[in-house]
A and B are shown apart, each in its own frame.
Chain A
Amino acid sequence: MNSRDAIVAEIPRLRRYARALTGRVDAADDLVQETLQRALEKWRLWQRSRDLRPWLFSIMHNLHVDGRRRDSRIDFCADEDLPVPVQRASQHDALELRDLERALALLPPDQREVLLLVGLEELSYAEVARALNIPQGTVMSRLSRARLRLKAILAGETAPILKVVST
Chain B
Amino acid sequence: MNTPISEDDLHAWADGQLDPARLMQVETWLAAHPERRAQAEEWRAQSARLHRTYDRVLDEAVPARLIPAANAAPYWLNALDARKLAAVAWLGLGAITGFFLRGETAPAPGPGMAAASLPRQAAIAHAVFVPEVRHPVEVGADQEAHLVAWLSKRLGAPLQPPQLEEVGYRLVGGRLLPGDSGEVAQFMYEDAEHKRLTLYVRPAAPKAADTSFRYARENGIDVFYWTDSRFGYALSGNTGREDMLRLATLVYRQHGK
Contacts and interface: CB of A to CB of B under 8 A. Distances in A.
Interface string A29-59: 1001100100010000000111111100000
A29 B57 CA distance: 11
B42 A118 contact: no
Given A49-B207, A119-B46, A150-B46, A19 B108 contact: no
Given A1-B108, A122-B116, A8 B15 contact: no
A161 to B, nearest CB: 19
B70 A52 contact: no
A1 B66 contact: no
Contacts of A147: 11, 42-43, 46
Contact of A100 (B50, B55, B68): B50
B65 interface: yes
Nearest to A28: B57
Interface in A124-147: 124-125, 127, 140, 143-144, 147
Contact of B210 (A1, A36, A119, A124): A124
Interface string B231-243: 0000000000000
A120 to B, nearest CB: 4
Nearest to B10: A144
Contacts of A1: 107-108, 110
Q: How large is the interface on B (under 10, 10 to 19, 20 to 34, 35 or more residues)?
A: 35 or more
Interface in B9-39: 11-12, 15-17
B8 interface: yes
A36 B71 CA distance: 12
Interface in B117-162: none
A147 B50 CA distance: 12
A10 B113 contact: yes
A98 B49 CA distance: 12
A15 B57 contact: yes
A16 B57 contact: yes
A116 B50 CA distance: 8
B109 to A, nearest CB: 6
- Binding site of A, secondary structure by majority: helix, strand, loop or mixed? helix
A48 B16 CA distance: 26
B51 A120 contact: yes
A4 interface: yes
B101 interface: no
B133 to A, nearest CB: 33
A16 B55 contact: yes
A81 to B, nearest CB: 23
A33 B64 CA distance: 10
Interface string B188-219: 00000000000000000001001010101000
A7 to B, nearest CB: 8
B17 A6 contact: no
B98 to A, nearest CB: 18
8 closest Cβ pairs, A-B complex: A51-B112, A5-B107, A119-B47, A52-B110, A16-B57, A1-B108, A120-B50, A12-B58
